[in-house]
Amino acid sequence: MAGIKDVAREAGVSASTVSYVLSGKRSISAKTTDKVMAAVEKLGYTPDASARKMRGMRNQIIALSAPIRGDINQARYNAYFLRTAWAARNAGYDVMLLTGPDAVKDIRRVTQSNLADGIVLLDVEQDDERAAQSGTFSKPCVAIGYPSSHAGCACVDIDFALMGRKAVDFLYEKGHRTIVFLRNNESDYNRHSGYVVIFRESLLAHAKELGMTVIESEHYEADSFDAQHFVSTVFAHPDRPTAIINQANASVLSQVLMALHNAGMSIPQDVSVLSCGTYFEGEPTRFPITEMPVMPEELCAEAMNLLVSAIEEHTDIKGSVELIEPALKRRGSVAEAGSGGTI
Amino acid sequence: MAGIKDVAREAGVSASTVSYVLSGKRSISAKTTDKVMAAVEKLGYTPDASARKMRGMRNQIIALSAPIRGDINQARYNAYFLRTAWAARNAGYDVMLLTGPDAVKDIRRVTQSNLADGIVLLDVEQDDERAAQSGTFSKPCVAIGYPSSHAGCACVDIDFALMGRKAVDFLYEKGHRTIVFLRNNESDYNRHSGYVVIFRESLLAHAKELGMTVIESEHYEADSFDAQHFVSTVFAHPDRPTAIINQANASVLSQVLMALHNAGMSIPQDVSVLSCGTYFEGEPTRFPITEMPVMPEELCAEAMNLLVSAIEEHTDIKGSVELIEPALKRRGSVAEAGSGGTI
DNA sequence: TTGTATGCGTTATCAA
DNA sequence: TTGATAACGCATACAA
- pLDDT for position A73: 55
- pLDDT for position B191: 66
Residues of A in contact with B224 (CB under 8 A): 284
- Helix extents (H) in B61-215: 78-90, 103-112, 129-133, 160-173, 186-190, 194-210
State the pLDDT confidence band at A187, using cuts at 50, 70 and 90. confident
Burial call B43-79: b when 16+ CB within 10 Å, e when fewer: bebbbbbbbbbeeeeebbbbbbbbbeeeebbbbbbbb
| Residues paired with B121 in a beta bridge | B65, B143
Say how far apart CA A317 and CA B220 lie, in whole Å: 48
Say how far apart CA B42 and CA B38 lie, in whole Å: 6
Q: pTM for this one?
A: 0.90
| pLDDT above 60 for A341 | no
Q: How far is B205 from chain A (nearest CA, A)?
A: 30
Instruction: Considering only residues B70 and A173, tell me which one the structure prediction assigns the higher pLDDT.
Output: A173
CB B49 within 8 A of CB A114: yes
State the pLDDT confidence band at B341, using cuts at 50, 70 and 90. very low
- pLDDT for position B192: 62
Instruction: Considering only residues B191 and A151, tell me which one the structure prediction assigns the higher pLDDT.
Output: A151
Q: Which tens digits make up the pLDDT trace of B24-42?
A: 999 999 999 999 999 999 9
| Helices B4-11 and B15-23, axial angle in degrees (round to 10) | 100
State the pLDDT confidence band at B86, using cuts at 50, 70 and 90. very high
Q: Looking at the complex, does the CB of residue A253 fall below 8 Å from at least one CB of chain B?
A: no
State the pLDDT confidence band at A280, using cuts at 50, 70 and 90. confident
Instruction: Kindly state the average pLDDT of the residues B207-228.
Output: 89
Range from A262-271, B188-197, B323-332 carrying the lowest mean pLDDT = B188-197
Q: Specify the 3-state DSSP secondary structure of B86.
A: helix
**CB atoms near residue A31 (< 10 Å):** 8
Residue in A63, A79, A89 with CA at minimum distance from that of residue B98: A89
| pLDDT above 70 for B72 | no
Say how far apart CA A323 and CA A325 lie, in whole Å: 7
> Which CATH number is A1-56's, of 3.40.50.300, 3.40.50.150, 1.10.260.40, 1.10.569.10?
1.10.260.40
**Which nucleotide in the DNA or RNA is closest to residue A15, CA to C1'?**
D3
From the number of C-beta atoms within 10 Å of its C-beta (0-12, 13-18, 19+), residue A257 rates as buried
Range from A115-124, A182-191, B245-254 carrying the lowest mean pLDDT = A182-191
For residue A248, the 8-state DSSP code is S
Range from A220-234, A326-340, B67-81 carrying the lowest mean pLDDT = B67-81
Q: Looking at the complex, does the CB of residue B97 fall below 8 Å from at least one CB of chain A?
A: yes
CB A137 within 8 A of CB B137: no
Say how far apart CA B234 and CA B88 lie, in whole Å: 45
When CB atoms are compared, the residue of A89, A99, A284 closest to B223 is: A284
**Secondary structure E strands in chain B:** 61-65, 94-98, 118-121, 141-144, 154-158, 178-182, 213-216, 243-246, 272-276, 290-292, 321-324
Q: Looking at the complex, does the CB of residue B189 fall below 8 Å from at least one CB of chain A?
A: no
Instruction: Kindly state the average pLDDT of the residues A107-121.
Output: 96
| pLDDT above 80 for A98 | yes
Distances (CA, A) of A248 to A201, A216, A220, A280, B285: 15, 12, 11, 11, 13
| pLDDT above 80 for B74 | no
- pLDDT for position B343: 42
- pLDDT for position B342: 40
**CB atoms near residue B293 (< 10 Å):** 18
**Secondary structure E strands in A168-212:** 178-182
Bases of chain C with protein Cβ within 7 A? 1-5, 7-13
Mean residue pLDDT of chain A comes to: 91
Say how far apart CA A239 and CA A228 lie, in whole Å: 19
- pLDDT for position B45: 95
Distance in Å, residue B49 CA to nucleotide D12 C1' = 17
Yes or no, beta carbons of A95 and B94 under 8 Å apart: no
In chain B, what are the domain boundaries?
Answer: 1-56, 160-292
Q: Looking at the complex, does the CB of residue B286 fall below 8 Å from at least one CB of chain A?
A: yes
Query: DSSP letter string over B253-286?
Result: HHHHHHHHHHTT--TTTT-EEEEES---TT---S
For residue A121, the 8-state DSSP code is E
Instruction: Kindly state the average pLDDT of the residues A225-247.
Output: 89
| Residues paired with B290 in a beta bridge | B274
Say how far apart CA B41 and CA B120 lie, in whole Å: 36
Q: Which tens digits make up the pLDDT trace of A287-319?
A: 889 999 999 999 999 999 999 999 999 999 999
CA atoms within 13 A on the CB side of B115: 28
Residues of B in contact with A53 (CB under 8 A): 50
Q: How far is A109 from chain B (nearest CA, A)?
A: 8
- Mutation target for B interface from A1, A43, A46: give the one with most B CBs within 10 A: A46
Q: How far is B30 from chain A (nearest CA, A)?
A: 26
State the pLDDT confidence band at A274, using cuts at 50, 70 and 90. very high
Distance in Å, residue A14 CA to nucleotide C15 C1' = 15
- pLDDT for position A72: 53
Q: Looking at the complex, does the CB of residue A321 fall below 8 Å from at least one CB of chain B?
A: no
Mean residue pLDDT of chain B comes to: 91
Establish, for the pair of chains A and B, how many residue pairs have beta carbons separated by less than 8 Å: 164
Residue in A102, A66, A117 with CA at minimum distance from that of residue A296: A66
Residues of B in contact with A54 (CB under 8 A): 50-51, 54
- pLDDT for position A289: 94
Yes or no, beta carbons of A114 and B1 under 8 Å apart: yes
Residue in B317, B276, B274 with CA at minimum distance from that of residue B294: B276
CB A253 within 8 A of CB A243: no
| pLDDT above 60 for B340 | no
Q: Which tens digits make up the pLDDT trace of A42-75?
A: 999 999 999 999 998 899 999 999 998 765 556 6
CB B247 within 8 A of CB B278: yes
State the pLDDT confidence band at B295, using cuts at 50, 70 and 90. very high
- pLDDT for position B166: 98
Q: Is-same-fold flag (B1-56; B160-292)?
A: no
* Maximum distance among all Cα pairs of chain B, rounded to whole angstroms: 90
Q: Looking at the complex, does the CB of residue B64 fall below 8 Å from at least one CB of chain A?
A: yes
Q: Looking at the complex, does the CB of residue B1 fall below 8 Å from at least one CB of chain A?
A: yes
When CB atoms are compared, the residue of A46, A49, A75 closest to B78 is: A75
Angle at A49 between CA A46 and CA A55, to 5 degrees: 115
- pLDDT for position B97: 96
Say how far apart CA A59 and CA A228 lie, in whole Å: 54
State which fold the B160-292 domain adopts.
Rossmann fold (3.40.50)
DSSP strand pairing (B118-121 vs B141-144): parallel
| pLDDT above 80 for A191 | no
**Which nucleotide in the DNA or RNA is closest to residue B23, CA to C1'?**
D11
Instruction: Considering only residues A159 and B226, tell me which one the structure prediction assigns the higher pLDDT.
Output: A159
